[in-house]
């Protein structure tokens, strides 16, 4: 098992290097002149050359990349151009907030998805199953930004049941209850798509397992329906893990629309705001940290997968 995890970890390193290279190149092609915006209208060619040399921008691109990477691996993401503060704490804070939202959405999505998946697989022609199928179809097709807006209009602004945006109420001083209240609508919005996908995938996983011979064998041995279902469920865990893991990973990046609509101070909102401000170090760090979290999450899912299903370890 340790060998398997070590192998996956070793495979992640070249991927992360590739990720850093893609981000570096993407940032280099961003239009606009960061030096000019730093210098302002009073900049002279001499001051420009001095600043370029101080920031290392006059060196060849490969040298710039290695320099940037060597700072990045020790957690030094540079200074934000717009906010004039260290990027690292800002990005880590935002990542924490995104993880809170992602975790809440993931719990909701898994509970809903598994529930609907089981229902639609086992009671195939019932009304509830039809409704479940329709829900799954609509939830994967829905634009999250619109759902978020509708929830804000009717439940937050209209009915006043929830706060409209943000993570804490500035006047109440925070607290878990306040956070929970702010979390419900964004988490529900973010959970819609993964819930639909988990429901559809889990439905086919349950149907797949239920059609296998060993289920027939268990029935014929006189096991109760409940016991048979327990065996069946055990066999769907690897598929559930894979789908849920992928979905949680996708949530990390997919919540950007939700964060933008609900002004949730996560990494998506930070990157989005930094794009409008052309704050390159923050964009770089934000995307890099998300990709890193994404790769780590996939590793964790792989490890869990190896734990519950020994066949994949080979």
Partner 1 sequence: MTALTDVAPPRPPAATGVTRRRRRRMSTTARIAVVVVGLIVAVAVIGPFLVGDPNVGDTSRRLLAVGSPGHVFGTDGQGRDVLSRLVVGTRLSLLAGLVPVLFAAVLGTGLGMTAGLSGVWGHRTIMRTLDVFYAFPAVLLAIAIAAALGSGVSNSIIALAVILVPPVARVAETETRRLVDLDYMEAARASGASRGSIALRQVLPNVAPPVVVYCTALIGLSIVYAAGLSFLGLGVSPPTAEWGLMVSDHTQYIYSAPFLAAIPALAILIASVAFNVLGDGLRDLLDVRGEVRA
3-class DSSP state for residue 110? helix
Phi, psi of 188 (to 5 degrees): -65, -40
Considering beta carbons, is residue 182 or 200 the nearer one to partner 1? 200
Burial 183-196 (b: 16+ CB within 10 A, else e): bbbbbbbbbbbbbb
Rounded to the nearest whole angstrom, what is the least distance from the CB of residue 27 to partner 1 in the complex?
Answer: 7
Which residues are near partner 1 by CB under 8 A? 14-16, 18-19, 21-23, 26-27, 29-31, 137-138, 140-146, 149-150, 152-154, 157-158, 193, 197, 200-201, 204-205, 208, 239, 242-243, 246-247, 249-250, 252-254, 256-257, 260, 268, 271-272, 275-276, 283, 287, 290-291, 294-295, 298
**In the complex with partner 1, which residue's Cβ is closer, 92 or 246?**
246
Please, which residue, 168 or 294, has the CB nearer to partner 1? 294
Residue 168 C-beta: closest distance to partner 1, Å: 23
What does the CA dihedral 172, 173, 176, 179 come to, rounded to 10 degrees?
70
The residue (of 34 and 43) whose beta carbon lies closer to partner 1 is: 34
Which candidate, 158, 170, 166, places its Cα nearest to that of 184?
Answer: 166
For 147-166, give one letter per residue: b (16+ CB within 10 A) or e.
bbeebbeebbeeeeebbebe
Sign of the dihedral through C-alpha 173, 262, 77, 31: negative
Closest contact distance (angstroms) between CB of 130 and partner 1 is 11
For partner 1, the closer of residues 15 and 128 by Cβ is: 15
State the nearest-atom distance from the C-beta of 210 to partner 1, in Å: 14
| In the complex, minimum distance from the CB of residue 145 to partner 1, in angstroms, rounded to a whole number | 5
């Amino acid at each position: 098992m340790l060998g398997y995890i070590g192998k996956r970890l070793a495979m992640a390193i070249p991927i992360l290097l590739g990720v850093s290279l893609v981000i570096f190149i993407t940032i280099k092609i961003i239009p606009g002149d960061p030096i000019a915006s730093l210098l302002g209208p009073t900049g002279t060619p001499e001051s420009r050359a001095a600043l370029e040399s101080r920031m290392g921008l006059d060196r060849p691109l490969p040298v710039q990349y290695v320099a940037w990477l060597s700072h990045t691996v020790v957690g030094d993401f540079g200074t934000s151009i717009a906010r004039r503060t260290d990027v690292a704490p800002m990005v880590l804070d935002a990542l924490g907030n995104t993880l809170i939202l992602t975790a809440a959405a993931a719990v909701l999505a898994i509970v809903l998805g598994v529930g609907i998946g089981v229902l639609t697989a086992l009671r195939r022609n019932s009304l509830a199953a039809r409704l479940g199928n329709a829900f799954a179809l609509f939830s994967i097709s829905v634009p999250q930004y619109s759902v978020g807006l509708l929830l804000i209009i009717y439940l937050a602004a209209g009915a006043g049941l929830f706060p409209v945006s943000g993570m804490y109420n500035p006047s109440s001083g925070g607290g878990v209850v306040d956070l929970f209240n702010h979390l419900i609508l964004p988490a529900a919005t973010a959970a819609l798509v993964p819930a639909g996908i988990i429901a559809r995938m889990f439905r086919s996983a349950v149907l797949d397992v239920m059609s296998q011979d060993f289920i027939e064998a268990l029935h014929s041995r006189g096991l109760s329906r409940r016991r048979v279902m327990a065996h069946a469920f055990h066999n769907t865990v690897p598929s559930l893990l894979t789908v849920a893991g992928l979905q949680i990973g996708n949530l990390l990046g997919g919540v950007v629309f939700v964060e933008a609509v609900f002004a949730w101070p996560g990494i998506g909102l930070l990157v989005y705001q930094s794009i409008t401000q052309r704050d390159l170090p923050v964009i770089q760090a934000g995307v890099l940290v998300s990709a890193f979290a994404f790769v780590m999450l996939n590793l964790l899912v792989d490890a869990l997968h190896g734990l519950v299903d020994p066949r994949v370890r080979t």
